[in-house]
């Protein structure tokens, strides 16, 4: 029938419900470990990818962004927003969806929600950076900012890096309580703290994941001692930072894609020529990571399109293994590919509808 699309016109769609079912059936820890490995694999072939800072439309209250990339065989993009004030209206700070497409035909291969998937890939990227840069024997992590990303960060650091002790702080004590309550059954050591100073006491790894779109000093210079590794992942757009500038000046700073991070990351506070190292070079053995026990390392993570590509590639592989998905009639598929107008005429004839 004219109203029945061919198989080639149907695109797998992973809805929020599908994603929830996939993570539930596969297990969150397994998903996080797998996505971490996919990101590491794609970082290892970094030079194959198109790379550009994300296309951003900023407003005083938030940002809407497109994040595209391609390895020459597959193309991916993500649409994502960041609106910190949304929670006051019962809305998510971050929402996203994405597409994975075939470069050879231009046809989409997968369409997916990416709010949950972005939380997974962000946590996986932090875990990858921590596994690569944290001091040997590190046992305790401070999580500063206990919003929507915090549980995913903790789960990834536990699943990928083996951490079991976490010290939590948020200016909203209820957020800390929610985070600890959500993770209570996992058997992790979760300590609610009354200040940033208390949270970082004894922590070898500090992760900052706050949401406010403004210049902030979540960590002052005196709070970061020798040997500490910092994941600064909350500062991810112009005018939004978390670390005091002096921390960056004392630390070895690692980033995803320098051109984008100088615009959006904590290093926007520094001279544009201040040296930083891209994480993929450390993973490839082309650059040094941690070189001594007393070194301070900072991963200035803002999120980059290759990580979304990796997450979508992981998801497409799971869908090919019968992970839950729906089929969307997304692509027009006329009998003659050169006769798109004729498709309208045949539909009108089939439904006996006049087209004026």
- 3 state DSSP class of 21: helix
Q: Would you state the structure tokens that stand for residue 209, as one six-digit string?
A: 């994941």
202: left (phi over 0), alpha (psi -120 to 50) or beta: left
Tokens 């004219």 belong to residue: 2
Give the Cα separation of 170 and 182 in Å (integer).
15
Q: In this structure, are residues 112 and 13 in contact, taking their beta carbons and an 8 Å threshold?
A: yes
Q: In this structure, are residues 41 and 167 in contact, taking their beta carbons and an 8 Å threshold?
A: no
Torsion sign over Cα 103, 119, 132, 236: positive
**Phi, then psi, of 283 in degrees rounded to 5:** -65, -30
Residue 96 CA to its chain's centroid (Å): 10
Q: In this structure, are residues 291 and 342 in contact, taking their beta carbons and an 8 Å threshold?
A: no
212 is catalytic: no
Beta strand 252-255 pairing with 297-300: parallel
Q: Would you state the structure tokens that stand for residue 77, as one six-digit string?
A: 């993009």
Query: Which burial class, exposed, middle or buried, applies to 181 when counting CB atoms under 10 A from its CB (0-12, 13-18, 19+)?
Result: exposed
User: Which one of 236, 266, 300, 308 is the catalytic residue?
Assistant: 236
- CB within 8 Å of 75: residues ≥ 6 apart: 68, 69, 100, 101, 102, 103
Give the Cα separation of 37 and 34 in Å (integer).
5
Just list the catalytic residues: 236
């Amino acid at each position: 029938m004219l109203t029945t699309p061919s198989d080639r016109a149907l695109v797998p769609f992973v809805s929020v419900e599908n994603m929830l079912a996939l993570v539930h059936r596969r297990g969150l820890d397994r998903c996080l470990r797998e996505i971490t490995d996919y990101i590491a694999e794609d970082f290892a072939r970094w030079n194959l990818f198109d790379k550009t800072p994300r296309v951003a439309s900023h407003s005083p209250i938030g940002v809407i962004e497109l994040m595209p990339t391609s390895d020459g065989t597959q193309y991916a993009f993500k649409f994502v927003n960041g609106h910190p004030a949304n929670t006051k209206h019962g809305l998510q700070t971050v929402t996203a969806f994405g597409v994975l497409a075939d470069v050879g035909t231009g046809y989409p291969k997968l369409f997916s929600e990416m709010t949950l998937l972005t939380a997974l890939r962000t946590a996986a990227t932090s875990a990858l950076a921590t596994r690569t840069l944290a001091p040997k024997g590190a046992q305790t992590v401070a999580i500063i900012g206990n919003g929507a990303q915090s549980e995913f960060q903790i789960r990834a650091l536990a699943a990928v890096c083996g951490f079991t002790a976490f010290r939590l702080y948020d200016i909203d004590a209820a957020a800390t309580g929610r985070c600890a309550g959500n993770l209570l059954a996992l058997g992790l050591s979760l300590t609610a703290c009354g200040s940033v100073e208390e949270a970082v006491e004894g922590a070898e790894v500090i992760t900052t994941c706050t949401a406010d779109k403004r210049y902030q000093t979540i960590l002052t210079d005196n709070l970061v001692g020798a040997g500490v590794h910092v994941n600064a992942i909350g500062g991810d757009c112009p005018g939004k930072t978390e670390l005091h500038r002096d921390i960056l000046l004392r630390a070895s700073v690692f980033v995803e894609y320098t051109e984008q991070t100088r615009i959006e990351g904590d290093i926007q506070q520094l001279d544009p020529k201040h040296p930083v190292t891209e994480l993929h070079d450390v993973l490839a053995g082309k650059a040094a990571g941690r070189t001594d026990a007393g070194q301070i390392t900072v991963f200035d993570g803002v999120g980059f399109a290759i990580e979304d590509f990796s997450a979508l590639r992981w998801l497409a592989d799971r869908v090919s293994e019968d992970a839950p998905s729906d089929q969307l009639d997304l692509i027009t598929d006329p009998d003659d590919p050169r006769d798109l107008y004729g498709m309208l005429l045949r539909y009108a004839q089939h439904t006996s509808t006049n087209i004026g």
